[in-house]
Amino acid sequence: MYGLNKYMNRYYVIMIPVFLWLLLTLLIQSNYYSSSISGFIVFDLLVTIPFLYFLSIRKKEVSKITVLSIFVMGTVIGSYVLPKKDQFFLEVIKSFIVPVIEICVISFVVYKARLLYKSIHKNEGKGDFFDAITVACHEVLPKSLATFLATEISVFYYTFFSWKNTQLKADEYSYHKEGTYKGIFLGFTLILIIETFVLHAFLMKSNVVLAWITNLLSIYTLLQIIAIYKTISKRPIYIDEKNKKLILQFGIVGKATIALENIKLIKVSTADLKNPNIQYFSFIGSLSGHNIVLSFKEPVDYESLYGKQKKAKALAFIIDDKIAFQKRIEELIGEA
């Protein structure tokens, strides 16, 4: 019962708007709906529900700017469930107010991320632009959308604006030299470029619009590859000795926070993995190779591409200075 109450206390604030959205949707689909009440429904979606949500979070440690997310979500729901003929007021909102809100939200995220990024560097803490932008996005959006937006913003940042080499600090370990990443990403890039030209030439004969859409998608995919490759060298694995945690990172597409006391065994090994409980800490799997295998007392959660949650009893990955890393981890878990 205690666990259920704790769960309800944590999530009831979002359950309130979800429940009200569902009621309004059922009302619109019922025989009681008529065009004469469409204005009231729009008012409920865009004013009443966001206001009730605000009342439910006003004394909680939840960013008040998330009210804007509820407002935007109400606009989206109204666009799908209201009959087209009854969307006059909604169209006015979508045309004039929603764009302003979107600009405000993005501006807030960038401003917040900039403050966090400067704070990290001023205090010589661990973390970088991606960590800062992720925290900022989580203050505005639900977790899954926040991670997605943070990743998309980071793709452009690291591709076009981040060129300074990363200098390793104490307890930081690189993983881009020993791995096969360079060859793999170069191969992906060449295949993508060749495929883009071939597909473009083929589609231009039948569908010009589709040909250019495919080109844009290919260009964006190329930007993603470049950003991931660059962040592999810019986001090192590090040990947070103060909080007794090991932070594993794989560019902007992988992160695990592991309590040092949960590490059962660290082994230097490049042997083929035959144990199904051992997973590669890389979204490209065994293609990345490995020279370290970490086993845990209890399974750990970790994030993969776009924040996808995974669980593992053991993780395999690359460390450039594997011997020094092994000795440091053994030293710390020996003290635990």
Predicted local distance difference test score (pLDDT) of residue 3: 43
**Sign of the C-alpha dihedral computed for residues 55, 61, 62 and 63 taken in this order:** positive
249 and 228 both lie in a single domain: no
Predicted local distance difference test score (pLDDT) of residue 113: 75
Comparing 305 with 143, which gets the higher pLDDT? 305
| Residue position matching structure tokens 């949650």 | 309
Residue 74 tokens read as: 């109400």
Predicted local distance difference test score (pLDDT) of residue 6: 45
| Domain assignment of residue 59, yes or no | yes
> What average pLDDT score do residues 224-240 get?
91
267 and 310 both lie in a single domain: yes
> What average pLDDT score do residues 140-146 get?
72
| Domain assignment of residue 167, yes or no | no
Predicted local distance difference test score (pLDDT) of residue 235: 92
304 and 225 both lie in a single domain: no
Mean residue pLDDT across the chain: 84
| Domain assignment of residue 113, yes or no | yes
36 and 83 both lie in a single domain: yes
User: Of 184, 201, 234, which residue constitutes the final position of a domain?
Assistant: 234
90 and 138 both lie in a single domain: no
| Domain assignment of residue 252, yes or no | yes
User: Of 46, 80, 96, which residue constitutes the final position of a domain?
Assistant: 96
Predicted local distance difference test score (pLDDT) of residue 2: 41
205 and 264 both lie in a single domain: no
131 and 80 both lie in a single domain: no
172 φ/ψ angles, rounded to the nearest 5 degrees = -110, 140
Whether the full predicted model's pTM is greater than 0.75, yes or no, is no
| Domain assignment of residue 28, yes or no | yes
25 and 54 both lie in a single domain: yes
> What average pLDDT score do residues 253-265 get?
93
81 and 16 both lie in a single domain: yes
The tens digit of pLDDT for each residue in 9-67 reads 556 677 888 899 999 999 998 888 888 888 889 999 999 999 998 888 887 767 777 78
The total number of structural domains that make up the chain: 4
Predicted local distance difference test score (pLDDT) of residue 258: 94
| Domain assignment of residue 168, yes or no | no
| Domain assignment of residue 247, yes or no | yes
| Domain assignment of residue 165, yes or no | no
Domain carrying residue 202: 176-234
252 and 303 both lie in a single domain: yes
